Amino acid sequence: MIAVYIILLVVGFVALIKGADWFVDGSSNIARLLKVPGVIVGLTIVAMGTSAPELAVSISAALAGSNEIALSNVIGSNMFNLLVVLGCCAMIHKVPVDTVILKRDFPICLLVTAFVAVMVGAGSVTNGLFGKAAMADEVGSASRVMGLILLVVFVCYLIALIRDAIRNPVQEDDAQKPFSVGKSILLILVGVALIVGGGQAVVRSAKEIATFAGMSETLIGLTIVAMGTSLPELVTSIVAAKKGETGMAVGNVVGSNLFNLMLILGTSAAIHPIGVNMASVYDMLILVGITAITYLFCFVDRSVKRIEGLILVLIYVGSVVFAAVR
């Protein structure tokens, strides 16, 4: 029976990745037909599309009451993006960092990560003092208030990005011809269906595998689910790095992490408060440290070098081992 759930997990990941790919293609094409600047498409539609697997999994988990998967998927995906995606790119080719990302996006990412850690930690302390935890292994929760705050910040951030893109237009590439509206709509609809169905399949199979193997939902969400939902970013970034096109690697990672924290975690918490166990509190604190270390690597020399990429990958291996043995 466990083999069936493993197959379901793999099929779910494939559906998530392909669905996100088709969703981005269809949405981007409609944007081109409507003469929307490509940079705005990249900052909004494409960013949302690449984060769609995480969004589908986390919301499905929140609705199913699998709170540990909902939170640990976001934490694990952000760790994977910073340490593995960016680390592998740097190991292949030195990764330059744009000044705007250093001054605006990365500091915002660090602040939002710290905010979530503080909110989760404060909730854990409060519930520990007053005995309000819903379950024995829960020490607190990511509340609806926190979720709504994250969503408001996300909307403000998105508006700021769009306004900046409009004030600083770029030359559009007309080499890629748009296809029909009908095909675009079909790709969007099929993409959304695959994302939703794949998200439900991943959550259900991950829960069953965790139960069978004696693993906690936190561990499986932090590792297997997070790795699977981050595959689009990993594959895209490695292909770009092999071609020497690494200029946007840091921006893609930071943007994805911001979407994960503000949109995905915010939406999940707003739908249903997410129970937090002590392992998740530790993981959030580790994520803050990892984000700070990565920012330091980016800040020095305005790039991430090969040796620093190797260090990031080794940190990920260490964090996974720590999560497994604790």
Mean pLDDT by groups of 10 residues along the chain of 326 residues: 84 80 75 62 60 72 68 86 90 85 90 92 54 50 87 91 70 61 85 77 76 72 72 65 64 83 88 79 91 93 91 90 75
Coil, strand, or helix at residue 34? Answer: coil
Q: What type of residue sits at position 73?
A: N
Residue with tokens 């951030």: 157
pLDDT value of position 54: 72
d(CA 304, CA 299): 9
Domain spanning 2-325: CATH 1.20.1420.30: yes
pLDDT value of position 156: 93
pLDDT value of position 39: 46
**Could you tell me the two tokens for 125?**
């302390």
pTM: 0.74
pLDDT value of position 133: 45
Residue pair 173/42 in contact by the 8 Å Cβ criterion: no
pLDDT value of position 135: 42
In the chain, domain spans: 2-325
d(CA 9, CA 106): 33
